[in-house]
């Protein structure tokens, strides 16, 4: 049995949700391996909001679907100005919220607070010039990545098509086939709406491979 397989079996023996004892065991295993390789290992605790990680995708999909539906309803009622306001405004809100959550929101949002621990391993006294990064925790992902990516593409196309249709309707007074963009929006949103992450995955592919490979490189 190779060293890499041994690391994979140790890390992927059980689900490792952040903050759990299983994650702590995996972290202790990583620390012991790194120490045998001559690294100085430190734990860096931190707090964060689990809301974005657990429910950000379905909430984003729901918001996008509501925006497309609201824009389509306004367009079907011959109100292209309102349609454009809803569609463009909704897009700006979603992009702004996503950017804020990714940069600061996940750290400062007061909802669903959790505690995590990063493991930092360094060698020597100088400042590291290269960091190898891998997450030790795991989560189950009920919807495959390819389905989520395809859904996002379909949803974005439906949103763009809605804006174009509303603009044409505003300039040329030609109502479009709003039902079709709503149908496309529903199809695109479905993978995201079903994507509430869980704890059932032992996580061989949920970065146990990445963490194990990092030990080999180290």
Residue 217 above 60 pLDDT?
no
Q: Which of helix, strand or coil describes residue 85?
A: helix
Range of the domain at 54: 3-217
Q: Which long-range contacts (CB under 8 A, 24 or more apart) does 5-13 make?
A: 7/33, 7/208, 7/211, 7/212, 7/215, 7/216, 8/204, 8/208, 8/209, 8/212, 11/136, 11/203, 11/208, 11/211, 11/212, 12/202, 12/203, 12/204, 12/208, 13/202
Secondary element (H or E) of residue 111: none
**pLDDT tens-digit map of 41-74:** 999 999 999 888 888 889 999 999 999 999 999 9
Residues 145-200 have pLDDT tens digits of 899 899 999 999 999 999 999 999 998 877 678 999 999 999 999 998 888 777 77
pLDDT, tens digit, 9 for 90 and up, residues 98-151 = 999 988 999 999 999 988 899 999 988 888 888 888 888 887 777 888 998 999
Helix/strand/coil (H/E/C) assignment for every residue in 115-170: EEEEEEEECCCCCCCCCCCCCCCCCECCCCHHHHHHHHHHHHHHHHHHHHHHHHHH
Q: How many domains does the chain have?
A: 1
Q: What is the mean pLDDT of residues 79-83?
A: 94
């Amino acid at each position: 049995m190779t060293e890499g397989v041994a690391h994979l079996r140790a890390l992927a023996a059980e689900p490792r949700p952040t903050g759990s004892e299983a994650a702590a065991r995996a972290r202790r295993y990583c620390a012991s391996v790194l120490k045998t390789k001559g690294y100085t290992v430190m734990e860096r605790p931190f707090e964060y909001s689990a809301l974005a990680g657990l429910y950000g995708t379905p909430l984003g999909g729901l918001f996008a679907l509501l925006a497309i539906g609201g824009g389509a309803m306004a367009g079907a009622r011959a109100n292209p100005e309102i349609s454009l306001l809803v569609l463009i405004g909704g897009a700006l809100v979603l992009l702004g919220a996503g950017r804020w959550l990714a940069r600061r929101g996940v750290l400062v949002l007061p909802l669903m607070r959790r505690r995590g621990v990063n493991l930092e391993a360094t060698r020597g006294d100088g400042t590291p010039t290269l960091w190898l990064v891998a997450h030790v925790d795991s989560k189950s992902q009920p919807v495959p990545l390819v389905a989520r990516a395809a859904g996002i593409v379909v949803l974005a196309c439906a949103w763009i098509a809605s804006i174009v249709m509303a603009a044409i309707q505003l300039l040329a007074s030609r109502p479009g086939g709003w039902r079709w963009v709503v149908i496309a929006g529903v199809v695109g949103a479905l993978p995201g709406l079903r994507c509430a992450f869980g704890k059932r995955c032992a996580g061989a592919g949920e970065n146990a491979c990445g963490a194990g490979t990092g030990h080999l490189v180290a």
